[in-house]
Structure 1
Amino acid sequence: MLVKTIACIVFLLFAPNVLSQEPKLGAIAGRPVELNLVKADDLSPAAWPREQIELTQTSATVTSDANIYMLLQANGIAPDPGAFTIVYDLNPQITDVNSVAPNTVLQLPAVSAERGLQKILQNRELVELTVDPEIRSHLNARIEALQLLIPSVTQVIAEPSAQLELKNLIGWYQQIEKRFKRKTDPPLRQATLVELLNEADLLSSAIEGALKKHRQVTENERKQIAAIYADVRLEMTQYGEVLARAPPKAEGVYSVTVNVSGIDPKFIDGLRVYYTYNGLFRPLPAQPPITSFGFRQLGPGKSENLFMKNYWLWAAKDGDPNHPATPPYELHIDASSPASLSVDLRVPKGNQK
C-alpha cells in the first residue's frame, strides 16, 4: 500500500501522559468528528495511549490486495459508517467504493504520529469516528422525545390513516437512531443530518403545540407533517442497504442548474436562487421565516450540487429569501433522477423592481 501523509495536520487530540477513555474531538473534511479508541476484536472502549495522537488526511492506493477495509485499518481507523462518511466527503467523485478500480488513489482518514499509530496497531485497537457529533446528539435527543409522544397521537389527529402515518414517521426516526447507535447506518452528508434534525424539531413542535392547547393539529400542520413524512420516507430508502462487510454507497450527488428569466436582465442578474426541504417549506413570505439555503453564485444559469431529496426552489433578491421574485418550484430528486437536472424559473412582470 502506498501511503502519503498530507502535511496539514487536522487536529491535535490530546496531551501526552494522560490515560483516558474519554472521546476526543477533531475535524476533517470540513466536519467536526468525535474520536473513540476501541478494541478491534469486540469494539469495547480502550484507553488512549500516552503517545501523541493526531487525526490526519492521507492518500492511499487501492489494489487487488488492499481493499478499503484494509486501508482504513492500516491507518488505525475502524472501518464503520463514520469512517465511510469521511471517505466519501474526502473523495466527492466517488459514490461507491466497491466499484473503485485498482490503482485508484483515495484520500483517507488516518491516525498520524508514527509512534502513536504503531502503539494502537500493536494493541489491536482502532479509532472510531463519529461525524457531526453535536448534530447527532441533538437529533437523538429529539428522536427520544418524539417516542414519548406516540401515545398522544390519537389526541391530536382524529383520522386513523393519519394517525398511522404519524406513528410510522416517528418509528422511522427511531430506526435512524438505533441504526446509528449500532453503527449500521448509511454514510450521511451533513445536509441530511441538518434536514432530519430541523424536520424532527418541527414535527415535535406541531404535536406538542396541539397537546398544550388541547386541540387537533391544524390543516397547515397536517400538510407539514405529510411533507416531513415524504422527506423521511425518501431518506429511509438509504437504510435498505445492509453493510454486510461491503462498504455502503454514498448519497448520490445531483447537479441542479436553475435558469431565471424575465424582462429586466439587470434585475435578474442580482437574484440568488434559494432552496429548502419540502418538510420545512411554508408559503412565502412566512413568519417566522423558513430555514433556507442559497446557491453560492448570484444570477441565472448557476448550478449547485444537491442530494436525493424533496425541495422547493425560488429566486429572490440577495439576502432576502423570504420575499421570492419567482413562484417557488417543487423539485423531487430520487434514485431515478438524471445526474444533471435543469429548472426554469420566471420573474413575473410585477416583481421586477
Structure 2
Amino acid sequence: MKKLLFLLMASLLVFLAACGGSDSSESDSGGEGSIDTIVLADAGWDSIRFHNSVAQKIIENGYGYDTEVTPGSTAATLQGLREGDINAYMEIWTDNVKEVYEEAIDSGDIEKVSTNFDDNQQGLYVPTYVIEGDEERGIEPMAPDLKTVEDLKNYPDVFEDPEDPGRGRILNAPSGWAVAEQIDQKFETYGLDETMNNFMPGSDAAIVTSLADAYESGEPWVGYYWSPTAVTAMYDLTKLEEPAYDEETWNETRGTEFPPNDVVVGVHKNLPDQAPEVVEFLSNYETSSALTEEALTYMNENDASADEAAEWWMNEHEDLWTEWVPEDVAEKVKEAL
C-alpha cells in the first residue's frame, strides 16, 4: 500500500513538473500565455539604458511585473525581439536597421507601438575649434576650409593616425553597430580610404574617451557620433556636411547625409496579449532629443547610473510621464520614487 501511494505521488509530481515546465517554456519563448517578467533590450548606448530604466520603474512599480535587460549588439537584440526572447525595445533606430526592421514589421514578428523621438542627428563630427579656432583657449583654426565629409581626405596631416604617420584617422562606430557598415561604405564613396584610416573603436565609451582627451587638450579629432547624447550636449561640435538625403543614392552608395531616423518603441508580437496594459503605456511613451539629453547630461555631470538619472528625470518631468499611464498607476510609481 505504501509502495502504491509512493508511486501515485511520484507520478503526480512528474505530471505537475511537466505542466509547470510547459507553462514556463511558453512564457520564456514569448508564447501567447501569461508573462511574469518583461525583458528589454540594451544595444549598448546610454540613451537606451536611460529609457529602459524609466520604463522599468513604471512597469515594475505601476503594473507589478518583474523586468530584466538583455545586452547585446543591435543585430542580436533585434533578433531577440523577433524571436520573443526580448519583449520590448525602447530605441529602435529604424533607418540604421531599415531592411531588418521593415522585414520584422511586415512579417508581424514585432509591432511598432510609438515614436520615442524623431529629432535626432548622426554623422561625422569635429570639435568646432578645429574649423574656427578658440580664442579663449588660444587655439588657432586647424582646418578652416573643412566643411564636408569628403573634405576630410585633404587633411590626413591634421587628423594624423598616431599608429600610422602620414595617414589620418577617422573613428567609426563600434563594430557591433549597424551604422558602422554604412560608414565603411562612405569611406569608399567619398574616397576617404585614399588618405585616412577607418578606425573601429571597441565601444561607445572608447569613442567618448578619445574625444574627451582630444577636446580637453585642444587637439584635432574626427569621428562618428549622434544626438541625443551627453557628449553632443556638453561639447561644442560641428557635424560635417554631406549631400542632402536622397533615398536612391543612399541605397546605392551611402553618399548622402543619414536619412531621417525615427527612433521607435517596438514590442514582440505576443506582448499585447501577454501584458496589454504595459503595451498601452508604451504606446504613449514619447520624449525628444532635448529631454533625453537632459538625463544624459545629468549622468555625465553627476557620475550617475542610468537608473539614478531616470529617477531624477522622472521627478523633474512628473507632468510628462504621468500622462502616459492611468492615475492609479502614476500614484504607485510616485510613491516608489
Range class of TM-score, shorter chain: under 0.3
Question: In proportion to residue count, which structure has more strand?
Answer: 1
TM-score of the aligned structures, taking structure 1 as reference length: 0.21
Which of structures 1 and 2 has the larger relative contact order (alpha carbons within 8 angstroms, sep 6+)? Answer: 2
Question: In proportion to residue count, which structure has more helix?
Answer: 2
